[in-house]
Amino acid sequence: MNKSIKRGLLLGLASGFLAMLFGGWAMTVLAVFGGILIGFTSRSGSGKPAAFSPQAVALTAFIFSLLTAIGGIIFDRGLADIAVVTGHPSEVTFPAAIVGIVLGTLTALGMAYVQHMPNARTARRINYAVGAVILIFLPIIDHATDLGWAASIIFAGVYIVVAIGLDVVVGYAGLLNLGYAAFFGFGAYATALLSSNQIGVHINFWLLLWIAAAIAGIGGVLLGAPTLGLRGDYIAIITLGFGEIVPVAFQQLIKITIQEPLTCVIIPAIQAIGGGTPTVQCITLVDKLDLTGGVRGINPIDRPVFPIISPEDTPVALIIKVAVMLALVGLIFFFFRRQQRNGKVGPGTMIFSGLAVGLILILFIPIPHTAEGLLAPFWNTFQPGQFASDNILPWWFFLLGIIGLVIFLKLRLKNSRLGRAMTAIREDELAANQMGVDLVHTKLTAFAFGAAIAGLAGAFYSAYVSAVFPDGFGFGTSVIIVAAIVLGGVGSIPGNIVGALIIFLADLLFLKQFQNVLNGLSTHVLMPSIPDQAVRGFIIANFDPVKYRFLLLGLILVLVMAFRPEGLLPTREQRLQFHAEEPVDEEAPTGAA
């Protein structure tokens, strides 16, 4: 009982602090998510079935949501006014607090009950269903409760994809890549170039997505090739240098002039040395081509278009759309038949196939506008034309699709021969080579695979933002992504997701709002009470958490390495590696052998 109080207090203080910065319905959302998490983790970590104690879970969740609600009330009814930040009226605050406390406790109880069901498979299915419901309805909840978090979560989602990709290289193959944002940049710039007015090419986004991934993948191989014979930390430096150059290239490739050297350099040089004047006409292949737009970047970029069949389609477009639709439906059918042949058609397969076919039909068959109804915004999203910039829904589901695809690919990779070869290289390159693992092939595939995933993310990013600039793809971004996967746990997909979410949401949501509130507090409370101009200047200059973001990032890296080197959600192997009974000595970099 004591432990659950402590746990509730600890989590509640953190969440209460967050609620104290946002207030309003944010505290309800925090309380419910916290409740789900508390319920979900109520099973002991070792996997042994512990006795279900509803009182303990309820107590933890109650304390947690109570503290969260108190934080929210403090913000709305006091802090917001003092700091002159937008708060919420009491018609919102108190219902939100009460709903938060009740729902938080109830969801925790419910989730805990599910975790302790005797049938583990059913429990797992319910967990997945809860996760799916949250993912599908989050943007709608976000809109309904006026949180305004969804846009930030989409950015964090892009970096989740990038983190998952980087983790293929770092976590599976053990090659620290410090220039990974460059591949993200390749994907983004490839998309930007091939679907904007920059060079006047407009390729359909659904095709371009794969082209961008392929270009980034080729970039990965090109970078990987020179590092093949090198050991870990040299690879880190090579990739770092590479990652430094790519933004420079994006910035500088604005006046590309390529002249044929034979006619422009070599023959004139010989003639000049001979004392004559040049007689050959210089052939210019490319003259002052502006490829990347320099610091201005490329803007605007085409947005993806729904492939919905419409009466205005040309016959060719119509045929392509119908063909793609039939191919996709056929793919699902093929998958279903295979499961059937293996005798594995359960409710899961049925539901999955049905949902997939439904989604494909929604994407291709026109639906009439609905003026009202709860799901009206949902249906009205799927209309012919481009993804809207002000409607978060299509982007949200598209991104969910990409994340799902990437997770699927990575799981398949992990259990494949290739994935095992990567793990072998990570553990001991020499031994792996002796056992017949093809080092060149495996390492290059790891680089290409990781880079291609970053390319996908880049394509999404540039279509979503509809602009690219050279400075988002340098060392700063690379190192944040490294921090995300290190924090979450290298080699673990849940770790990648949680790490990226924590780091990027902290950066995009928390620090920003924290800055707002602190700024308001210092201007309206602290400032008037301080007479000294100098001290005031000092406080204005330093009371800004955003200025300390790299300090915080660095602290996270150092502290995680010092106290939990396996990360927050490590895989089993990683945990054992760092916490074995006997320190494993063979990894010691003494060079004694």
Residue list 198-237, contact with another protein (CB under 8 A): 226-227, 229-234, 236-237
Tokens standing for 29?
């959302």
Q: Token pair of 24, please?
A: 């309003």
Interface characters, 567-586, with another protein (x: CB under 8 A): ----------xx----x-x-
Q: Which is nearer to another protein, 218 or 329 (CB)?
A: 218
- E strands along 215-294, which residues? 256-259, 284-289
Nearer to another protein, 202 or 231 (CB): 231
Six-digit token string for 591: 């060079």
Alpha helices in 466-571 (DSSP H): 475-488, 493-505, 511-521, 533-542, 549-563
| Complex with another protein: residue 313 or 427, whichever CB lies closer | 427
Q: Interface with another protein includes 587 (CB under 8 A)?
A: yes
Using CB under 8 A as the binding rule, whether residue 146 contacts another protein is answered as no
Among 124, 441, 547, 579, the residue binding another protein under the rule CB under 8 A is 547
**Binding residues among 466-495 for another protein as defined by CB under 8 A:** 475, 479, 482-483, 486, 490
Nearer to another protein, 92 or 169 (CB): 169
Using the rule CB under 8 A, which residue among 89, 534, 572, 581 binds another protein?
534
Among 120, 199, 248, 323, binds another protein (CB under 8 A): 248
Q: Is 430 in the site for another protein (CB under 8 A)?
A: yes
CA distances from 241 to 127, 223, 245, 474, 526 (A): 44, 11, 6, 10, 45
Exposed e or buried b per residue across 149-162, where buried means at least 16 C-beta atoms within 10 angstroms of its C-beta = bbbbbbbbbbbbbb
Site membership for another protein, residue 550 (CB under 8 A):
yes
At position 243, the amino acid (one-letter code) is G
The smaller minimum CB distance to another protein, of residues 462 and 477, is found at: 477
Q: Tell me, by CB under 8 A, how many residues bind another protein.
A: 76
Other beta carbons within 10 Å of 63 = 23
Closest approach, Cβ 281 to another protein, in A, equals: 15
Q: What Rg do the C-alpha atoms of the chain give, in angstroms?
A: 27
Strand duo 305-306 + 385-386: pairing: antiparallel
Among 117, 129, 199, 588, binds another protein (CB under 8 A): 588
- Rounded Cα distance between 299 and 293, Å, is 9
Is position 353 an interface residue for another protein (rule: CB under 8 A)? no
Looking from the CA of 202 toward its CB, the CA atoms found within 13 Å total 9
The only residue of 141, 324, 565, 568 in contact with another protein, by rule CB under 8 A: 565
Find the binding residues for another protein in span 166-205 (CB under 8 A): 170, 174, 176, 178
Q: How far is the CB of 96 from another protein (least distance, A)?
A: 36
d(CA 205, CA 183): 18
Distance of closest approach, residue 481 Cβ to another protein, in angstroms: 12
Cα angle 253, 258, 262 (rounded to 5 degrees) comes to 155
